[in-house]
Amino acid sequence: MSVRLQNGSFFGSAGQPVRLDDMLLAETSYGEGFVVPLHAHAHPFFCLLLEGRMVEHFERRREVLGRGCAFFHPADADHAESFEAGSARLFNIQFGGGWLDRMAGVGVELPVDHLPLAGGLVPWLATRLHEEFRAGGERLVVEGLLLAMIGAVLRKDMTRERHGPPAWLRRAATMLHDQPGADLRLAELAASAGVHPAHFARSFRGAYGCTVGDYQRRLRVEHGARLLEYSALPLSQVALECGFADQSHFTRVFRREKGVTPAVYRRMRRPSG
C-alpha cells in the first residue's frame, strides 16, 4: 500500500516553504540514487524540475524528465520517482481544498491523469512562479500564475480527451465487457491497470460518464437480454450467469433498465418457433 502525503509533506530534503492561504510553494532536493517510494498526494499539485534529471514512474509507465520539465500530479494517484543520473532539485506548487472547492463551484474539474509537461506554456509559467517564490511570493501574482497553469493543463487535457480514454482504462473496460458476470472489484481493476483505486474511479467516470458499478450493471443487463432472447436458460440461471445475486435482484435491475421484466422481455424478443 502506498503512502498518502498531505500538502507540505515531502520525501528528500525540503527547504523553507512559502504558504499563501491554502497554497504552498517549496523546493526539494534529492541526492544521486535517491528513490522516492510509491506514494500519492491528498491534493493535486505541480512540480518543476529545476536541476538534474529524474525518472517518474506512474501507471506502469516510465517517463524521463530533464531540467525545465514540469509535471501535473492528480490527487490520490500512485507514483514514484528515482534520481539515477545525479542529484536533482524540484519546485513544488501545491494547492489545497479551498482552491478545489472554488473551482468545483464554477464547474472546473482538474485532470485525473498524470501529465508530463516537457515543453510549452506550463513549464514557462512554473518557471515564472519559481522566480516569484524566490522573490518572496506576492499572493496575487502567485494566484494569477497558478490559475494560468491550471487553464493550460485543462486545455491540454481536453485535447487528450478527444483521442479517447488512455490505453490502461480501455483495457479495464474490456475486462468488464469480456466478463460481465464476473465479480470484479474496483481494487482488482485498478491493480490490473497499475493505478490507485481512487484515481481509477475518477478516471473511469470522466471517460465513460458513469461509475464503474453503473457501467458493469448495464453490461450485465445487456448480457442478460441476449441470453433471454437467444437461449432457453431459466430466469434463475440467467440471473446467476449475469452476476446477480438471485432472480429477484435480476428482475428489479432489468426492469429499471429496460422498462419490462425479464419474462416479458423474453416473450417479446424470443424468435418464434
Q: What is the CATH number of the domain that holds 206?
A: 1.10.10.60
One domain, residues 260 and 173: yes
Question: Which of 105, 140, 161 is at the close of a domain?
Answer: 161
One domain, residues 189 and 140: no
Domain count for the chain, please give it.
2
In this predicted structure, what is the pLDDT of residue 48? 92
One domain, residues 150 and 173: no
One domain, residues 133 and 174: no
One domain, residues 37 and 142: yes
**Cβ neighbours of residue 48 under 8 Å, at least 6 residues apart?**
68, 69, 70, 71, 90, 91, 93, 123, 126, 127, 129, 130
In this predicted structure, what is the pLDDT of residue 262? 92
Alpha helices in the chain (DSSP H): 97-105, 121-134, 139-161, 167-178, 186-193, 197-208, 212-230, 235-241, 247-258, 262-269
Residue 68's SS3 state is coil
One domain, residues 143 and 171: no
One domain, residues 250 and 115: no
One domain, residues 37 and 58: yes
In this predicted structure, what is the pLDDT of residue 130? 92
**Cβ neighbours of residue 165 under 8 Å, at least 6 residues apart?**
173, 203, 207, 208
Pairing of strands 115-117, 70-73: antiparallel
Q: Specify the amino acid at residue 86.
A: G
pLDDT beneath 50: ranges in the chain: 161-162, 273
Q: Which domain holds residue 33?
A: 3-161
Question: Which of 141, 161, 181 is at the close of a domain?
Answer: 161
Q: Specify the amino acid at residue 238.
A: V
* Cα end-to-end span (Å), the chain: 57
CATH of the domain at 156: 2.60.120.10
One domain, residues 97 and 46: yes
Question: Which of 110, 132, 161 is at the close of a domain?
Answer: 161
CB 12 within 8 A of CB 36: yes
Helices and strands, counts by H and E, the chain: 10, 12
One domain, residues 215 and 120: no
One domain, residues 84 and 148: yes
Listed residue (250, 196, 195) closest to 223, CA to CA: 250
